[in-house]
Every structure is written in C-alpha cells, then in structure tokens.
Amino acid sequence: MGEEYTLKMGEKREVRENAEISLPGNEPLLSAKGVFKIFSGPAGDLEILRGVDFAMKKGGMCFILGRSGSGKTTLLNILATLDRPTRGEIFFREKNLTALGERDLARYRNGKVGFVFQFYYLLPELDILENVMLPGLMAKGRNLKSRAEALLEKLGLSDRIHHSPARLSGGELQRAAIARSLINDPEIVFCDEPTGNLDEKTAEQVLELIFGLNRVEKRSFCIVTHEKSMIRDFGTVYHLHEGRLERG
C-alpha cells in the first residue's frame, strides 16, 4: 500500500475512494428479508419491526437512522444475531443465520461479527487490555495479547492498557470498545450509537476512526444513530420508521 495510513486519533483525512466491494455474483454480505419483531407483554403485543428488508455489500458503510424508540437497537441486535426475529430471515452471504442453532450461531458471531454497544459494556473488574482480549479467548485466537496491544496502539490507547474502565474518558472507553469489537478480525462491525455519549469533538474523532477502519481495512460497518450529523455522502442511508426500513 503506497499511501501511508494511520488510524491514530487526531490524524484526520477526508479522502474517500472506497466503493463497496462486490462479491462474485454481486451477492450481499449481509441481508435481511421480511424481518418482524414483536415483543409480548402484559399490555399486549408491541410490533417493533414490521417487515424489514436490508442488504449490505462487503466493505460497505451503512447508516440506520431513526428516532429514539423506533427500534434501532432491536434491529441491530437482530442483524448481529444477538437476538432472533419473530419472523423473517437473516443471511450472511448465502448462509441462512436464522436456521442455525445456538452453538453454530455463537461460532459465526465470534468469527464474523464485531459489536460496539450503546453503553460500551466494558467489564469494570478487568483492565482495558483484558477487556479487548475477552472475545478472543472465546474464539481461542492466537497471539491474543499482542494482537490486543496492537489494536489498542492503533486506536491511540497504548498508555491506557492497564487502566480499569472507570479511569477512562468517554471517548477512550468508546475507542476501547471499538478495539474489542475488532479482536477477532470481524467482517462486519455493528455500532449502536457510537457517538451518543460523546461531546462533538470526541464524537468526530471516533467517527473518523470508524471511517478509517472502513476505508483502509475494507471492513463493513453498520451504524445506528439518531444523529443526522453522523451521516456522510459515502455509504448507504436507511431510515427506520414505523417498523420499516426505507432507503435514502
């Protein structure tokens, strides 16, 4: 790679030549067909998703916008296989994930998917390095410690690796959560409001980091947000409204 890339914080770039990468036959990397999610409670059924169709290509950047309570987290959890749809199907390439049992699903998730949660969910009793290593332990990955250290360095957290999460700022926690999401080298990373708890400047830095990872490593990202300011002219924009996903 002739160009010098760095993903460290503060070093910005706004070049963008990344196009979504077509797979043979142009099939999507991840797709959803006719997804419904109904929560049943004492007050009756809540129909949150009402026939969601979705597709994204390898290397793609996808933004899902929607108001608070519109079902963004619900949808992201389903796309990431952390939750199951009431009806409908999720595919990774041609594999129907909805048909997999828990064990196969866990294996798939561990190898292919990264997740950055709305509220970080770093374990307070572990230091940052251990938090980043954790998903790798489950996947029995090799050179785990050195990979985690390299990721933390890439995300500008080398001098924080033995800190507990309680001693980190919001932006640092979010970067640690992004490092954790990448430890198993996932093909697609789901981010739930990755800048929701950050000030404007820190949010911009975290976004630049994500866009850099997408552009340089051709990693696919699916980002859920209620902030229109996060959206860039690259990538595909969806709106979640009344349980349906609309392009544009």
Ligand X SMILES: Nc1ncnc2c1ncn2[C@@H]1O[C@H](COP(=O)(O)OP(=O)(O)OP(=O)(O)O)[C@@H](O)[C@H]1O
> What sign does the CA torsion over 92, 95, 96, 98 have?
negative
Residue 72 vs 109, nearer CB to Mg ion: 72
Angstrom CA distances, 103 to 64, 99, 135, stand at: 29, 12, 15
The answer to whether 64 and 75 are in contact (CB under 8 A) is yes
Residues 63-82 that bind ligand X (CB under 6 A): 66, 68-74
**HSE (side-chain half, CA atoms, 13 Å) at 180:** 28
- The angle, 0 to 180 degrees and rounded to 10, between the axes of the packed helices 144-154 and 128-138 is 130
Residue 91 vs 117, nearer CB to Mg ion: 117
Minimum CB separation of residue 47 from Mg ion in Å reads 17
Residue 144 vs 240, nearer CB to ligand X: 240
Residues 207-226 that bind ligand X (CB under 6 A): 226
Token pair recorded at residue 145: 């410690």
Q: Which stretch binds ligand X (CB under 6 A): 39-47, 90-98, 141-149, 177-185?
A: 39-47
Residue 91 vs 238, nearer CB to Mg ion: 238
CA 238 to chain centroid: 15
By rule CB under 6 A, what count of residues binds ligand X?
13
Residue 72 vs 147, nearer CB to Mg ion: 72
Q: x/- site string to ligand X, residues 167 to 206, per CB under 6 A?
A: ----------------------------------------
Q: What are phi and psi of 58, to 5 degrees?
A: -60, 135
* Residue ranges binding ligand X (CB under 6 A): 39, 41, 46, 48, 66, 68-74, 226
